[in-house]
Structure 1
Amino acid sequence: MTVNDDSFTNWKNREEIAESMIPIIGKLHRERDVTVLLHSRSLVNKSVVSILKTHRFARQIAGEELSVTETLPFLQALASLDLGPSQIDIGMLAATYKTDDRGLSVAAFTAEAVAGATGANKIERGEGRDAVLYGFGRIGRLVARLLIEKSGSGNGLRLRAIVVRGGGDQDIVKRASLLRRDSIHGQFQGTITVDEANSTIIANGNEIKVIYANDPSEVDYTAYGIKNAILIDNTGKWRDREGLSKHLRPGIDKVVLTAPGKGDVPNIVHGVNHDTIKPDEQILSCASCTTNAIVPPLKAMDDEFGVLRGHVETVHSFTNDQNLLDNYHKSERRGRSAPLNMVITETGAASAVAKALPDLKAKITGSSIRVPVPDVSIAILNLQLARETDRQEVLDYLRDVSLTSPLRRQIDFITAPDAVSSDFIGSRHASIVDAGALKVEGDNAILYLWYDNEFGYSCQVIRVVQHVSGVEYPTYPAPAV
């Protein structure tokens, strides 16, 4: 047998193992509200090849590839436990098991590591929480995809309605088509049908009412059986407490804005300050995509090295706010053709840092350049640190943060030397540290942070919504603090 034959046989064996994992992962998700992760990446509804690629990706972070032969025993051990709603990272289970010297079996080690999600300790499954989307643009449709994806067990968030302004003939058919196909993010994973007579989109069995209204005051949510719902405003039309309060009508309990909030509206970056949300707070903001990209690594760097001052330059993909061709725009430069120009513009991300990190004493400045790509941006974070360090120390620290810290869902880490922006389309992290581009000299560090300003941000929005709705489940093994 040749070496090539050996490699092919090994691949086929791993395919078979990955195939055997799919029904276990699916059953845990549907029946117990358990999301199986691998180094913070969900394995729910993933194909055989996707599961194998996710295992291989661990090599970029941990230095060596993780095999399905290593993780399958942990998955089998989970299936035998009386688990409650939770997120369980089998990559972390396998990694921590390797360093454990007590001689425990995989089953015993797993039971101990996830004890908080079993027996008397487990969270009881609830009835789920209604969600409503106000607006159905770029972020609205991606948030809709995520809500539908996460409704597998029926006990989490349930997208009940979308509120839009009427758009003429076949409006609902056209909106369903935009949900079904996306030029950047690809096909919707599942099936979508339209019931025009009842103004309903059915996506993977989820019945979503399309409500037409020009103003929040026109909608009676209780007429559609919606109660105690989280409303996600994707329009950006109202950004202060007074404006957003218009949404607080019968059936709506809380309002989450997918843009920076003004005045006293809390700006929340999940992973950094979501635990400061008061239980009775009804209105909050998820800040901007760039704020979500820079605040987690900024916090991580301040925690370890101290940050005295900094500047962020964002090289940002163009957005619908800009013109396709030169035309009038209320901003000076955004009227110039977005696909043909680099456009200097402002960013509020630097000033928003103070809201998310009130204890950070450093002054952070910022500016932005819009460039002719439709998605994925990069933030260049130039920091003066409180102590001197070197490139390797910063790399090792950020790699560890992406693997084991409470910020591991926000910060990713990549070592690929040929990575470019399109490689990060669909990333679920708030930002991705580009290891090859990192520069450190004495007390100065320059971080290059990729981020999918559409999908990665939408994932952060969903995490905030899960938190305030009470369906954000604990992760095991618990991240290092």
Structure 2
Amino acid sequence: MSRETTRIALNGFGRIGRSILRILRSHDLPFELVLINDIQPLDVCAYLFEYDSVFGRYAGTVGFEKGALLLDGERVPFTHADDLSTLDLSGVDVVLECTGLGGNRAIATRGVEAGAGAVLISGPSGTADKTIVLGANDHELGDARIVSNASCTTNALAPLLRVLDEAYGVESGHMTTVHCYTGSQPTVDKPMGDFVRSRAAALSMVPTTTSAQRLTDEVLPHLAGRIEARAIRVPTASVSAIDLTVQTRSSVTTEAVRAHLKEQAVGPILGWTEQPLVSSDLRMRPESLVLVGPELSVSVGGLLRVFGWYDNEWGFSMRMLELAARMKQR
């Protein structure tokens, strides 16, 4: 039986947009990429896709011509509209809104205005119809047409909390994400809205905030107010981690929780490793979170500590595609 194809358009060809395209070119997935739209010059976009400082050089051939990106001899239409609603997207099932501006409702809706069936935003959006995290609240997708895929950290945290809460009951907890630097931070000291985020990203560890606390409250409302979350931005270019400590209602032991989580972490959302890995070993892992068995422990007082890695670009991009397919299937 042939798989149903989801027709998608990429609006924005930055870190997530290019990661999505690399996944599409390296995996046999039932998607048809109808269009890429980005305001940057096509030669720059082609160059940044072919030569990636994190993922390495693209394995195939990359070229361009007027109005198209050429990948392995295939032509992918490429436009430069600053307003997506001016294009004809009729026949597109889902626009993957990857400009970073999709939190603005007026911008997020432009894909639908152009004729697409739905829009999936690659980041938090307080104006989306729904915020959905696969493995946490995807049963609530319904017929929402403007959907947020939350954040990479929320995609890592929320499914883990759901599993722990269903098994043991989560009373309260604290999560710290040890997060690689991103394009929101400067390479040299530069005035920003946040004092510490004004500092050079590759030179210091930066204690800061994360949207994961607010988004987890939204995705798992029955746990709202129970989980505190903070971030430490660190001077690495890819792969992040979460360090979660929770108090459970049921008594737990290290052995029992380790066995349960290992049973649950069979992909594609949660993964598992027993190996002594460092962050670079997790590059291009497809899971939302890879739990580290030897790092799991329960203190004498009953506090449960869980640690896991996530490729904040690659894993998040995998979820974008999987959620887009779900949106098509409704």
Range into which the TM-score falls when normalised by the shorter chain: over 0.9
Describe how 1:413-424 pairs up with structure 2 within 5 A.
Answer: 413-416=272-275, 418-424=276-282
Residue 188 (structure 1) shift = 2.3
Structure 1, residues 271-293: CA drift from partner, whole Å, max 9, x if none? 222222113x2100000000000
- 2:231 corresponds to which residue? 368
Q: Which residue of 2 aligns with 1:129?
A: 6
**1:5-64, CA deviations, whole angstroms, 9 ceiling, x for partnerless residues?**
xxxxxxxxxxxxxxxxxxxxxxxxxxxxxxxxxxxxxxxxxxxxxxxxxxxxxxxxxxxx
Q: 1:113-124 residue pairs with structure 2 within 5 A?
A: none
Mapping of residues 270-419 of structure 1, within 5 Å: 270-279=134-143, 281-360=144-223, 363-403=226-266, 408-416=267-275, 418-419=276-277
- Distance apart, 1:354 and its partner CA: 2.1
Match of 2:323 among 440, 464, 469: 464
**Where does residue 21 of structure 2 map in the other structure?**
144
Q: Distance in 2 between matches of 1:353 and 1:373?
A: 25
For normalisation by structure 1, the TM-score amounts to 0.65
Q: Distance in 2 between matches of 1:468 and 1:188?
A: 29
Residue 240 of structure 1, CA deviation = 4.4
Identity of aligned residues (%): 29
- CA–CA distance in structure 1, aligned partners of residues 11 and 224 of structure 2: 36
**Bigger relative contact order (CA 8 A; separation at least 6):** 2
- Tell me whether 1:209 sits opposite 2:73 in the alignment: no
In 2 relative to 1, CA 301–464 (structure 1 residues): closer, same or farther, beyond 3 Å? same
Tell me the amino acid that sits aligned with residue 439 of structure 1. Answer: S
SS at 2:160 equivalent: helix
CA distance in 2, matches of 1:253, 1:145: 24
Alpha-carbon deviations, 1:341-379, whole Å to 9, x = none?
A: 111111110121122223336611111110000001111
Give, in whole Å, the separation in 1 of the partners of 2:113 and 2:25.
24
1:302 to partner: Cα distance:
0.7
Report what 2:103 is aligned to. Answer: 239
Unaligned stretches of 5+ in structure 1? 1-83, 86-124, 472-481
Tell me which amino acid in the other structure corresponds to 1:146: I
Measure, in 1, the Cα distance between the counterparts of 2:102 and 2:21: 20
AA of the residue aligned to 1:193? G
Q: Which residue of 1 aligns with 2:288?
A: 430
Q: Is 1:440 the counterpart of 2:315 in the alignment? A: no
Once residues 285 and 134 of structure 2 are traced to their aligned partners in structure 1, the CA distance between those partners, rounded to angstroms, is 16
**Is the CA contact (8 Å cut-off) linking 1:148 and 1:158 kept in structure 2?**
no
Which residue of the partner structure matches residue 475 of structure 1?
none
Residue pair 2:217, 2:225 contacting (<8 A) in 1 also: no
| Higher helix proportion | 1
Give the drift of 1:463. 0.9
Secondary structure of the corresponding residue to residue 413 of structure 1: strand
SS of equivalent residue, structure 1 residue 352: helix
Residue equivalent to 1:266? 130
Q: Look up the SS of the partner of 1:337 in the other structure.
A: coil
**Partners in 2 of 1:321 and 1:269 — Cα distance?**
23
Q: Output the CA distance in 2 between the equivalents of 1:129 and 1:362.
A: 37
Shift, 1:205, TM fit: 5.1
Report the AA paired with residue 37 of structure 2.
V
The structure that has the greater radius of gyration is 1
Query: Does structure 2 conserve the Cα–Cα contact (< 8 Å) formed by 1:350 and 1:364?
Result: yes
Please tell me the residue identity of whatever aligns with 1:440: V
The code of the aligned residue for 1:423 comes to: D
Gaps of 5+ in 2: none
After superposition, give the CA deviation of every residue in 1:322-343 in whole Å (9 maximum; x if it has no partner): 0001112222211110000111
Q: Could you tell me how far apart the structure 2 residues matched to 1:185 and 1:192 are?
A: 15
Aligned equivalents of 1:467, 1:190: Cα separation in 2: 29
| 1:469 counterpart letter in structure 2 | K
1-structure distance, mates of 2:177, 2:251: 25
CA distance in 2 between counterparts of 1:303 and 1:177 reads: 46
**Alignment counterpart, residue 113 of structure 2, candidates 225, 249, 260:** 249
In the aligned structure 1, how far is the partner of 2:317 from the partner of 2:102? 19
